[in-house]
């Protein structure tokens, strides 16, 4: 039964939508969450890449990024749980330096000492704890060994995966239910407090009357065929957009809403990432174990973070510069390959716009600073792989392998052009940023639109800048700040 009216409507049930619903429900507010994707139980995840693309990846995983650099489609999740359904469960708090910058922008509610108890509460609810060797297994332990031999600043990452068995398919949906995606914790808690979650419900319009948000129009979507079904409206005292860094600006741009600042869709950061691998005489079987369990801070100030990663064989081959017979020859080496990646903090170099058919169009221009950070990351990965015992390393550019670090470093000079890099991006942020100035931001420090009373944002699009670390916990923390502020406004 779909209600006709509620206190707060939340659009999207990912990291932000779940956390804002939890914060509101905890304060006694009546909440309805509308989610475009379907609600899946862990047992229904078949651990299949095609199935995952068709069912729990937004746009079937094909969100194209226009850029001179070669950026793979920018993935995001779809379904109750949003991108937490397909993420690697890595949990970081935002670096204090970043939160200090935000405080200096006037966002005093986001100061490190005020966010710390919120992070702590969320970490408790999500079961966040460090990964450990038995679930990490050989690929992660290889990165650990190399980093330790080089005396680098490394550690097992904290993860929201309290029941993880190390099956290695986090990005296909966790079939064991061991991952603490938000459909397993924050959403059920909110539901126990009265929140109603409607899945297969795609919001198509924000209803605004007399300049105030007062509800939404949405359509039911068939989860298999994606056919658009019946239309509905729900009225509310406030509407919170948590449709993600592409979905939220898309909804606003479609209606030309809340854009007095002309900042909607602008200021996109993506945490550009690169990765590469080395050949080890012993078996690594990188697909076995937690995909990403060990990390090295290469440069905390500049925001260069190295993280082990794995890719299922079918994904690995699709992302390599090899194909045909040569590709198969490379693929046959896969059991012996150890892998590591680097993500870097970036400036707001991209934007989300609407294409001619109303579909989102994402542009991103990799800056020289970011390109050099990525190359620094690749050089450090090369060193780690050799230190860990690799006999050959693919430097991540070109087609040749290097037999010693000097050769690889020579191929990875600062002058390597962006066109030679293969970049991955799964952390879009900042497209409706929070700020005190109506001219430079879309929402105020409480998450409310500067232009439309009753319209709030609570997802990764709020970020005033890039973080330099994986963002899900900070998305949740900011969404909780917005939820608590909204609950106070509603008098709960
Ligand atoms: C492959 C991958 C791996 C990642 N790994 C990590 C990691 O290990 N650690 C980490 O910290 N971060 C990771 N991230 C990033 C992290 O998951 C995201 O930053 C975070 O989930 C963003 O939260 P959000 O609420 O902004 O959006 P999302 O979590 O993406 O949720 C948005 C939701 O809104 C729904 N929606 C969109 N439009 C509409 C509409 N019109 N109507 C109704 N619903 C709508 C979508 O279906 C989706 O469910 C990863 C991301 C990806 C894609
Ligand atoms: S590695 Fe752990 S968290 Fe990831 S899918 Fe397997 S059991 Fe779930």
Asked if residue 208 has its Cβ within 6 Å of ligand 2, the reply is no
Q: How far apart are CA 247 and CA 15, in angstroms?
A: 14
Dmax of the chain from CA atoms?
69
Q: What number does the ligand 2 atom closest to the CA of 177 have?
A: 8
Given this model, what pLDDT does residue 426 score?
Answer: 87
The pLDDT score that the predictor gives to residue 316 is 81
For residue 179, give the ligand 2 atom closest to its CA. Answer: 3
The strand pairing partners of 351, in sequence order, are: 363
Joined tokens for residue 170: 């986090």
pLDDT of 330 reads 83
Atom of ligand 2 nearest to the CA of 167: 6
Substitution site in 14, 201, 315 for ligand 1 pocket (most atoms within 8 Å of beta carbon): 14
- Among 165, 173, 287, the mutation site with the greatest number of ligand 2 atoms within 8 A of its Cβ is 165
419, two tokens: 């066109």
Q: What pLDDT does residue 329 have?
A: 86
Q: What would the DSSP string read from start to end of 112-160? A: HHHHHHHHHHHHHHHTEEE--HHHHHHHHHHHHHHHHHTT-EEEEPEEE
Q: Work out the number of other CB atoms within 10 angstroms of the CB of residue 43.
A: 9
Question: Which ligand has the minimum distance to the alpha carbon of residue 469?
Answer: 1
* C-alpha torsion sign, points 101, 107, 108, 111: negative
Beta carbon of 290 within 6 Å of any ligand 2 atom: yes
The per-residue pLDDT for 72 is 82
CB 483, CB 22: distance < 8 Å:
yes
pLDDT value of position 323: 82
Using the 8-state DSSP alphabet, how is residue 172 labeled?
Answer: G
Which pLDDT score is estimated for 328? 86
Cβ pair 78, 87 in contact under 8 A: no
- How confident is the model at residue 315, as a pLDDT? 79
C-alpha–C-alpha distance, residues 268 and 11, integer Å: 20
Residue 311 CB neighbours (<10 A): 24
The finding on whether 179 has its CB within 6 A of some atom of ligand 2 is: yes
Mean pLDDT by 10 residues, the chain (492 residues): 94 99 98 98 95 96 89 93 98 97 96 97 98 97 98 98 97 97 98 98 98 98 96 98 98 98 98 97 96 97 96 79 84 94 98 94 97 98 98 93 96 96 94 97 98 98 98 98 98 80
Q: Find all residues with CB under 8 Å of 324, minimum gap 6, and list them.
A: none
| Rounded Cα distance, 489 and 445, in Å | 13
Q: Catalytic positions, please?
A: 427
* Predicted TM-score (pTM) of this structure: 0.98
Q: Which residues partner with 221 through β-bridges? A: 228
Answer whether 463's CB lies under 8 Å from 476's CB.
no
Q: Which residue has the tokens 């650990």?
A: 144
Cβ burial of 446 (10 Å; 0-12, 13-18, 19+) is middle
How far apart CA 96 and CA 122 sit, in angstroms, is 18
């Amino acid at each position: 039964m779909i209600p006709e009216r509620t206190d707060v409507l939340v659009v999207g049930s990912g990291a932000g939508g779940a956390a804002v619903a939890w914060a509101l429900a905890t304060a006694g507010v009546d909440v309805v969450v509308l989610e475009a994707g379907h609600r899946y139980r862990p047992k229904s995840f078949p651990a299949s890449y095609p199935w995952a693309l068709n069912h729990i990846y937004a746009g079937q995983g094909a969100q194209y990024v226009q850029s001179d650099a070669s950026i793979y489609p920018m993935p995001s999740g779809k379904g109750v749980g949003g991108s937490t359904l397909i993420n690697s469960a890595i949990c970081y708090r935002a670096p204090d330096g970043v939160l200090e910058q935000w405080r200096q922008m006037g966002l005093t509610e986001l100061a490190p000492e005020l966010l710390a108890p919120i992070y702590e509460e969320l970490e408790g609810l999500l079961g966040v704890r460090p990964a450990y060797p038995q679930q990490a297994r050989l690929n992660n332990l290889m990165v650990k060994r190399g980093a330790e031999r080089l005396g680098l600043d490394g550690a097992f990452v904290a993860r929201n995966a309290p029941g993880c068995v190390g099956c290695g398919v986090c990005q296909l949906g966790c079939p064991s239910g061991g991952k603490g995606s938000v459909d397993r914790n924050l959403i059920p808690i909110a539901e126990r407090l009265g929140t109603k979650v409607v899945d297969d419900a795609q919001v198509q319009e924000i209803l605004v009357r007399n300049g105030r948000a007062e509800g939404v129009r949405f359509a039911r979507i068939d989860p298999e065929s994606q056919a658009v079904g019946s239309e509905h409206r729900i009225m509310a005292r406030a509407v919170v957009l948590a449709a993600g860094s592409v979905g939220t600006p898309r909804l606003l741009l479609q209606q030309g809403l809340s854009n007095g600042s002309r900042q909607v869709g602008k200021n996109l950061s993506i945490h550009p990432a690169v990765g590469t691998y080395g050949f080890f005489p012993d078996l690594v079987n990188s697909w076995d174990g937690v995909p990403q369990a060990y990390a090295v801070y290469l440069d905390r100030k500049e925001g260069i973070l190295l993280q082990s990663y794995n890719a299922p064989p079918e994904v690995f081959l699709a992302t390599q510069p090899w194909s045909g017979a040569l590709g198969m020859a490379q693929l046959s080496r896969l059991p012996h390959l150890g892998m590591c990646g680097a993500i870097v903090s970036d400036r707001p170099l991209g934007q989300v716009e609407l294409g001619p058919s109303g579909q989102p169009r994402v542009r991103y221009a990799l800056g020289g600073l970011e390109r050099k950070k990525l190359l620094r990351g690749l050089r450090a990965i090369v060193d780690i792989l050799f230190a860990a015992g690799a006999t050959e390393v693919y430097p991540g550019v070109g087609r040749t392998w290097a037999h010693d670090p000097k050769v690889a470093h020579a191929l990875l000079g600062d002058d390597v052009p962006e066109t030679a890099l293969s970049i991955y991006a799964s952390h879009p942020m900042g497209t409706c940023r929070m700020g005190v100035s109506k001219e430079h931001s879309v929402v105020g420090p409480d998450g409310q639109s500067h232009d439309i009373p009753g319209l709030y944002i609570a997802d990764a699009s709020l970020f005033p800048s890039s973080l330099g670390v994986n963002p899900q916990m900070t998305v949740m923390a900011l969404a909780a700040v917005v939820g608590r502020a909204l609950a106070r406004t509603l008098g709960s």
